[in-house]
A and B are shown apart, each in its own frame.
Chain A
Amino acid sequence: MTDIDPALRKATAFLARFIVVAGVLYVGWAFLSALYLSTLAAVFNNLADESVQYAVFRDNLAIVYNDVQAKPLVLALADNDIFFMNLLVVVGLLLATPIDGSTLNRVGWTLGAGMLVWMTHLLSLFAGEYLVIWDFVDSLPGDQALSLGTAVEARFPRAQEVIFRAIFDRWRLWVRPTLALLLWFFFARGYLRLDVDTAPVGSNP
Chain B
Amino acid sequence: MEKLYWDDFEVGQVLNYGGMTISREQIVEFAREFDPQPFHVDEAAAAASPYGGLIASGWQTAGLFMRMLADNVLNKSTSMGSPGVEYLRWHKPVRPGDTLRVRHTVLEKRPSQNRPTLGLVKNRFETLNQHDEVVMEMVSIGMFLRRPAAGKDGAA
A, B in one complex: no
What residues make up the interface of B, taking CB atoms closer than 8 Å to A?
A: none
